Amino acid sequence: MNNYIAFFDLDRTITGAVSGNVLALSAYRKGLMSTSDILYALWLLVGYKLSLRDPQKIIYEMAGWVKGIPEKTLDYLSIEISQKVLIPSVFPEAIRELKMHSENKGRTVILSSSPASVCRLMTKSLGIDDMICSELEVIDGYLTGRSVRPLCFGQEKVTRMKEYCEINNTAPGKCWYYGDSIADFPALSIVGHPVCINPDRKLLKKAKDKSWEIYYWDLKNPRSRGLGTTP
């Protein structure tokens, strides 16, 4: 029996890299995306960072680049980027936190907007108990560019978290959630132990207002547990 659940975002929380960006760049290098596609993706990324458009719409548009790609090809790309980029970019402090929760009989779960093909590999590689992520639609072996249900982003993370807690007979108030961006604010707000990892400017402000734990993790200069409220 698990005492509680510790949910972790993936990109910029467990890893220093962003899986979606790495995946798209790898696809472009292999000729699966055109130059115009990758430029459009970069434009969307800038719009997301500068809050120029609705982030929910941007995320859906960015996920659409996989349309027409064989599912097996995405699986291969996911294996490649996980081995070459994502696993090497895992924060040592994230490993320590995962180990700490496991030793305390906490159930560890990736809760991320990243595709299942990536989350599945990272979950297995890091010995994490389970994953909740974005499931991309596949018809006749090819990706359609749509998701099976809403992408696991923003408020959808709250929905998925509550569903998972109910299935596992655990109240969100007993849970932890580790996130890095303002998009994680809804999920951070419903758990009993919110933890912000290298938070962006908007999340940092809210975290300080609410006296949440703030950790600064660095691949080049790892700390014992990344505790603290200043870099």
Q: Is residue 224 part of a domain?
A: no
Q: Is residue 37 part of a domain?
A: yes
Domain count, the chain: 1
Q: Is residue 144 part of a domain?
A: yes
Task: Quote the DSSP letter at residue 148.
Answer: S
Four-CA torsion 226, 22, 38, 68, nearest 10 degrees: -130
- Which pLDDT belongs to residue 2? 72
Percent of the chain at pLDDT exceeding 70: 85
Structural domain span for residue 141: 4-215
pLDDT at 218 over 70: yes
pLDDT at 3 over 90: no
Cβ burial 210-225 (10 Å sphere, 16+ → b, else e): eebbbbbbeeeeeeee
Q: What is the pLDDT of residues 93-121, one digit of tens each?
A: 999 999 999 999 999 999 999 999 999 99
Four-CA torsion 119, 188, 156, 62, nearest 10 degrees: -60
Q: Is residue 42 part of a domain?
A: yes
Phi-psi region of 228 (alpha: psi -120 to 50; beta: other; left: phi over 0): left
Q: What is the pLDDT of residues 132-147, one digit of tens each?
A: 999 999 999 999 988 8
- CA-based nearest residue to 126, from 168, 164, 170, 82: 82
Q: Is residue 210 part of a domain?
A: yes
pTM of the model: 0.89
- Which pLDDT belongs to residue 47? 57
Q: Is residue 171 part of a domain?
A: yes
Residues with Cβ < 8 Å from 144, sequence gap 6 or more?
A: 67, 136, 137, 138
Q: Is residue 206 part of a domain?
A: yes
Q: Is residue 89 part of a domain?
A: yes
Element at 155 (helix H, strand E): helix 155-167
For helices 35-49 and 55-63, the axis angle rounded to 10 degrees is 160
Average pLDDT over residues 217-231: 59
How far, in whole angstroms, is CA 70 from its chain's centroid? 23
- Which pLDDT belongs to residue 64? 75
Q: What is the pLDDT of residues 52-80, one digit of tens each?
A: 556 566 566 667 778 889 999 999 999 99
Query: Please, what is the average pLDDT of the chain?
Result: 88
CATH number at 152 reads 3.40.50.1000
